[in-house]
Structure formats: structure tokens, C-alpha cells
Amino acid sequence: MTKTNELKKWMVMSLVAAAAILHNAAVAAAEPQAPCLFIFGDSLIDPGNNNGMETLARVDFRPYGIDFPLGATGRFSNGKTVADFIAELLGFEDYIPSYLTARGDQILKGVNYASAAAGIRAETGRHWGNRTSFDGQLQNFNNTVQQITGLLGSRRAASDHLRKCVYISAIGNNEFINNYFLTLFYNTSKVYTIEEYMRLVLKQYSEQLEVLYTLGARKIAIIGTAPLGCIPINVVLNSYDGNSCVESNNLASQLYNKKLQAKIDVFNAMFPDAQFTYIDGYNPMSDVYHNAEAYGFIVKTRACCGSSVICLPNDGICINRRQYLYWDFAHPSEAACLLVARRAYQSQKPTDAYPYDLRSLALL
């Protein structure tokens, strides 16, 4: 072989090798920051798990999903939820499937178990009808773990896989707005002081998170409650001027979150091979609410659609949904969800997460 041919062969091989390196780098770059994402919660992040239930807490109809690529899937939003945006920010190309629809090896990349009206306590949200409480969601996750064990061939392989995943638990809002403060349906506030009730809820929540750990979770993000006094249904029904946040609700949410965050160090001490972190569910939304116009929101105390807690099929909707902070009377718009998700993924303030934001948690 002549030197010229040898040189050509070397150049071709070099180009092929370089192309392979670039291809592998591109594939690696496209990989999500964690191999899987499992999500637990309520209507704020429900992707449609309530669709097959006899319940008022289901929205698998228009105008819900009007801005969502797949239409009315059962999300309580005009478009994507906070969970959808978090999944995108973590690098997942597809939406994390609902437990209702997840099939086959889809579950290896994660499942969303969130259920509208669900709570930490079994009775929470019962006036809405059927829903899957956090205990039920954990039972569903256990079913998924058994399926993953079958797919991967052994419990050891399943455990190795599950410990690398990110877990998000965003539940607790309904303990207040669909339980303690809803005195028409619940007598909880007559039985317990707010401090006693919080201790009771946090004790049960701690036990449930221990179950989640036992089932294989190791990277666990716990999202605190939102500024419940600022949701439109509370503003309209309970504020003195119909235009102000209900401070008693907000103070309860802040106190609960403070107690919840204090649990993080306890969990991390109890389970040294796990990483628990607290994600602030209050201040990111509160900041947007109190500085709405700076974020492009013109309307913050009224919903884009509906005249009750949720929109009905024939309800009219606002024209410019990007300018509304809330989609319906209880759930933020897609535009607001994006802002909240960004701060959960990457902290903008020291109080946004403790000790890790979601980006850092995924990389641990």
C-alpha cells in the first residue's frame, strides 16, 4: 500500500473515530440528568390519574389542556404543570406518564402518581369523590417496583436502578384547603388546634416518606405548600375586599413549611445513604403574586376560566392566558408553573431549596 493510500486510510479512520466521539457526546448530552423521575402529589401536578374515577376532581375535557400539545389529558392547567416543566429541565424528552397510562418499559423512566384532591390524610378531599391518597400512591409505587423487578430480572438490579432516580413529593396543600379550613365538610378544626393538626399531619407524612425510602427511593425532594390564601377561590370568598390574600391561610402554610423543612435534617440523619431535600413551595409563587406585573401578569386575583373552583366544559376563557397568574380558581396557569419550576430546579434565592435544588439532587 502506498504512503498516499495509507494516509487516506488513516484520515478516513480518524474522521470515523471523530464522528463516533461526537455522536456519543451528543447522545450523552441528550440523556436526562437522572435515569428516572417518580412524582407524588395532588391536583397541582396530576397528569390525569383521576380520569377513570367517579369524582368531581377530574378535568379530562376542554378548556383544560387548550395549550397542551396532547390536549385535555386531565391536567389541571391550560398547559403544562410544574411537574412537566421540572421533567423538561431535568432533560426528559417525554412527559412522565401517569400511573393510569404507564405501560411496559415506560416505567423505567418514571411514573407520576399524583391525584387531584388527594392528601396525606385519608379523609382529605373526600367531598370531591374518589381520589388516591398518598398512602394509595405509595401502594401504586410498590406495584411499579414489582414490575421493575420483573423487567430487570432481580430485586438487586431494581434497587440499583431506583436509587439513582429522583423522587418528588408535592402533597399537603389539601390538608388545609380541603380539610382543616373547609369547616362545611370537616370538623378537624374543632378537634385540633392548628399546631396540633400540623404535628399530626407531619407525623403521618414522616411515616409515609419512610415507606418511600423502604421501597427504594434515595433522592427525595419534598415540596412545601403554596401561598394558599392567595388562590382566587380564597381571595373571592374569604378576603375582606375580594382582592387580598387570606392571611390566616398563608400564615398556616408558612408555619407548616417551616416545620416540614426542619424534618429534612432528621430524615438525612436517619437515612445516611439517602439525600432528602426541601423545595420551597411558598415564596416562588408568592414573589410572582406580589410582583405580578414585573413577570408579565396583568390579572392575579381572578381566574382565566370558570366561575367555581374548576372550569366547566362550556365556560368561557380569557384571551391572553399568558397574562393570567391563575388558570382556574385553584390552579396556576402554565406561565406561572414555568416560573415556579425554574426555581425548584435551580435556586435563585438561598431559601428556594435546602440543602439541594433539583439540579444538584439529580447529580448526587
The residues assigned a catalytic role are: 43, 328, 331
In contact, 278 and 224? CB cutoff 8 Å: yes
Query: How far is 128 from 110, CA to CA, in rounded Å?
Result: 28
Residue type, 307: S
In contact, 319 and 248? CB cutoff 8 Å: no
All residues at 6 or more sequence positions from 265 whose CB lies less than 8 Å from its CB, including other chains: none
User: By C-alpha distance, which of 336, 334, 337, 340 is closest to 353?
Assistant: 340
What would the grid cell of residue 63 be?
378548556
Is the bond into 284 cis (omega within 30 degrees of 0)? no
In contact, 47 and 75? CB cutoff 8 Å: yes
15-54 b/e (C-beta count within 10 Å ≥ 16 → b): eeeeeeeeeeeeeeeeebbbbbbbbbbbbbbbbbbbbebe
